[in-house]
Structure 1
Amino acid sequence: MTYQETISWMFAQLPMYQKKGAAALKHKLDNILHFSEVLGNPHRKFKSIHVAGTNGKGSSSHMLASILQEAGYKVGLYTSPHLKDFRERIKINGKPIGKDYVKDFIKAQKPFLEANELSFFEMTVGMAFTYFAEEKVDIAIIEVGLGGRLDSTNIIQPEVSLITNIGYDHMELLGNTLEKIALEKAGIIKENTPIVISERQSETEGIFRLIAAQKNSEIVFAEDLDLETYPTDLLGDYQRKNMTGVLAAIQMLKGFEISKKDVKKGLSRTVKNTGILGRWQVLGKKPLMVCDTAHNQEGLMSVMEQVGRQKYKKLHFVLGFVNDKELKKLLRRFPQQAEYYFVSPNIPRGLAVEELESIAKEIGLYGTSFSSVAKGFKAAKANASKEDFIYVGGSTFVVAEIV
């Protein structure tokens, strides 16, 4: 198979959460443990930092990787989902895994993958861990896919773990209260392993402290530390919260020499060093055009606060969602005084644009529906003056179609 044929097989043959939703999840670690054993337990052959949370875990993972790169280490980075190319998920020092490696790995493991019906995420985790082990990385930053306790990445024994923020997302899988969701995220806390919490929340603090005590693990709330923050090329205002957790995790990481200079350079070059996409990413100026992957209540609230601080003559929103969100709650985060361009991301989970427009009208958001993200974005650019502001988002998969 060619690289593209290999990727198509991975997407089509086996369930993938970003396309299928809850049906793609296995809710157990048996498969990944079996697969890892077949692969020679690669997850035991490199050091790691494990990152979970509702919002900010991707940005935090990229910040950590960039800092460690600046300190001179060979750094693996595993994140999800990807926006343009599958290989974004698996990088070493910012360079994506090679197409030939992806092809060869799937070709070699295909009989096992088919016989054991591994999910898309399970096979991808196995690939990443094998690649990092073979390439002998000094450390790998491993982002949780969903939840924590039963996530396929949760077989590693990290040097330190980081939980960013707890919010209302994937509630049909993780629970309908912050406490229940936190319990799933707390599943990454390991015996005698430091755990950093980026953001103190009254509903979840007790749960994290309890699990940490049970695991005999030192727990640190980042805001309790006197941490000096620095400029970053990640432009979202919400990155300040992420940064404090990252700095605390670096402080708790033992056995690595990381100077203040490394931290400053790493934060200022996160985009350059890692290639991260879609976080308050500026697509153009005059009019100023920004996209962001925020897709739940807390994430959108932070982003809309930053939108409100911009100077503009008129607001334009190119907006689309997936079909498993509490749409009215999300839409209430958006201002009524704006022009809307309703779209649907081109995936099976994409919310029908007609339904989006209908619900938006109920809460006073008016605009026009378009048959694709590209057409909606084109219309917004055509309608906007140089003094206007265009925002593209609502879903990671809307952003993926325009970056």
Structure 2
Amino acid sequence: MPVRSSRSLDEWLRFQETLHPRSIALGLERVRAVAARLGLPHRGPHTLTIAGTNGKGSSATLAAGIYRAAGYRVGLYTSPHVLRYPERIQIDGRTADDAALCAAFEAIDAARGDVPLTYFEFGTLAALWLFRAARVEVQVLEVGLGGRLDAVNLVDADVALLTNVGLDHRDWLGDSREQIGAEKAGIFRAGRPAVLVERAPPASVLDAARDVGAPLLRLGGEFDYAVLPDGGWSWRCGSETWTRLPRPALAGAVQYQNAAGVLAALQAGLQRRPLRRDDCERGLALLRLRGRCESYRGVLLDVAHNAEAAQVLADFLRRETAAPRALVLGMLADKPVGEVGRLLAGAADHLYAVGLDGPRGLSAAALQARLREAGVDSQTCDNIGDALRRARRAVGDAGSVVATGSFLTVAAAINELDASRP
């Protein structure tokens, strides 16, 4: 009998926010206990787990797309969402519907007893519950925060992929790349491949792989890639070499690197889930991800909420967009606002600061003050609509308008662009 829910999706999400005194509480004890009560195994279908500071979402989406092109039934779990919560959980390319999510939440709530799960732990268990119900053959899981103590890590990955290690979430993961790398490498498992998509990873990542006994595939070592002048590219992994691959459909030079890592991870899992080159090419051609270098109604949308992502966006703007450029920026208080602002301001002619709601959001005035401390000039705007209108006026028909910073900024821009459409 299917589980019936007593709450709407919005009611469930509000309820989940009240259960634990902290919105982020790392640790596997709670989620493991409830997973056991739900009968969720620590080894499910073939599992690719992806951690890293940037590139997790596009890598996970590409991997899932390639597996789908090969005919496998695929579950994809990512976070955060841009517009609606169900975006986080996809089965065969379709987002979970509200009723299915509510049924999963009902089952989890019944099993948890007095265990105070966090919002993210509820979502992770719901994804695994729905994937089991759908009998997926592959599940691609994006780590939410760190790796070692993230709820996703309750599942033993068959292949682990680490995109990169940057200085983000320092309050929870540590103050150095070495500390943060050790946390992210916690997804590695003995005897199961670990793919490193960074040419110079922290020593702590290499040490973790050695200590646990995870065979390594390293960018620049066991696999590599090269971009051709026409935008095509070549890739090699061990004795396998592919030439004249199509460019990833998602814009940005970094997507070649992300794709190279994904292909290496899929190559590492070939014994359990065989693939062909044309499956990979179809996945590359169909790659789409909301809010990542996305051109939407005349505005470029890109989540760039840390220094590494801001550098990638700044490079893309200089290479691929027309000047003059106007940036609409909204950020959360716990992000490196000054560093992001300096990087983006170097590729922009105008910068408009907008406020974000919520306990972590910066008001427009607070954002402007922190940017000023970093030597970055900006103008404050009353709201996202005001900012987009002023940005358009500033650059005219020939220039470029960009909405960036937090996921919340991108979501607000999408909603405004939809609402103001003629």
- Output the TM-score relative to the length of structure 2: 0.87
1:144-194 Cα shifts (integer Å, max 9, x gaps) = 010000000101122211000110100111111100000000100111111
Residue 232 (structure 2) aligns with: none
Residue 193 (structure 1) aligns with: 192
1:259-280 Cα shifts (integer Å, max 9, x gaps) = 1111011011022xxxx21110
TM superposition shift of 1:364 = 4.4
Residue 159 (structure 1) aligns with: 158
Residue 133 (structure 2) aligns with: 134
Contact 2:108 2:125 in 1 (8 A): no
CA distance change for structure 1 residues 179 and 36 in 2, over 3 Å: closer, same or farther? Answer: same
Residue 261 (structure 1) aligns with: 278
Task: For 1:182 and 1:199, locate their aligned partners in 2 and report how far apart those are by CA, in whole Å.
Answer: 12
Residue 333 (structure 1) aligns with: 343
Task: For 1:258 and 1:30, locate their aligned partners in 2 and report how far apart those are by CA, in whole Å.
Answer: 36
Residue 230 (structure 2) aligns with: none
- Say which of 283, 293, 306 aligns to 2:296: 283
Is 1:347 matched up with 2:358?
A: yes
TM superposition shift of 1:233 = 1.4
Residue 207 (structure 1) aligns with: 204
CA RMSD of superposed structures (Å): 1.9
Residue 14 (structure 2) aligns with: 9
1:285-339 Cα shifts (integer Å, max 9, x gaps) = 4xxx211112111111111011112352411010011001232222111235611
TM superposition shift of 1:43 = 4.5
* Runs of 5+ unmatched residues, structure 1: none
Task: For 2:135 and 2:106, locate their aligned partners in 1 and report how far apart those are by CA, in whole Å.
Answer: 22
TM superposition shift of 1:232 = 1.5
Task: For 2:25 and 2:321, locate their aligned partners in 1 and report how far apart those are by CA, in whole Å.
Answer: 46
Higher RCO (C-alpha under 8 Å, 6+ residues apart)? 1
CA distance change for structure 1 residues 189 and 68 in 2, over 3 Å: closer, same or farther? Answer: same
Task: For 1:398 and 1:113, locate their aligned partners in 2 and report how far apart those are by CA, in whole Å.
Answer: 34
Residue 315 (structure 1) aligns with: 325
Residue 251 (structure 1) aligns with: 267
- Aligned 1:348-387 pairs, distance under 5 A: 348-387=359-398
Give percent identity, aligned residues only: 29
- Say which of 404, 411, 415 aligns to 1:393: 404
3-state SS of 2:303 partner: coil
Residue 235 (structure 1) aligns with: 251
Task: For 1:114 and 1:13, locate their aligned partners in 2 and report how far apart those are by CA, in whole Å.
Answer: 15
Contact 1:113 1:123 in 2 (8 A): no
Task: For 1:126 and 1:195, locate their aligned partners in 2 and report how far apart those are by CA, in whole Å.
Answer: 24
TM superposition shift of 1:341 = 1.4
TM superposition shift of 1:358 = 2.1
Task: For 1:231 and 1:347, locate their aligned partners in 2 and report how far apart those are by CA, in whole Å.
Answer: 38
1:100-130 Cα shifts (integer Å, max 9, x gaps) = 1112222343355572111011111111101
1:210-244 Cα shifts (integer Å, max 9, x gaps) = 22222222101033225245311111222122111
Count of residue correspondences: 388
* Runs of 5+ unmatched residues, structure 2: 1-5, 225-234, 236-241, 415-422
- Aligned 1:75-90 pairs, distance under 5 A: 75-90=74-89
Task: For 2:262 and 2:12, locate their aligned partners in 1 and report how far apart those are by CA, in whole Å.
Answer: 32
Q: Residue type matched to 1:323 in 2?
A: A
TM superposition shift of 1:11 = 5.2
Task: For 1:265 and 1:184, locate their aligned partners in 2 and report how far apart those are by CA, in whole Å.
Answer: 34
- Say which of 257, 277, 302 aligns to 2:312: 302
Task: For 1:172 and 1:95, locate their aligned partners in 2 and report how far apart those are by CA, in whole Å.
Answer: 35
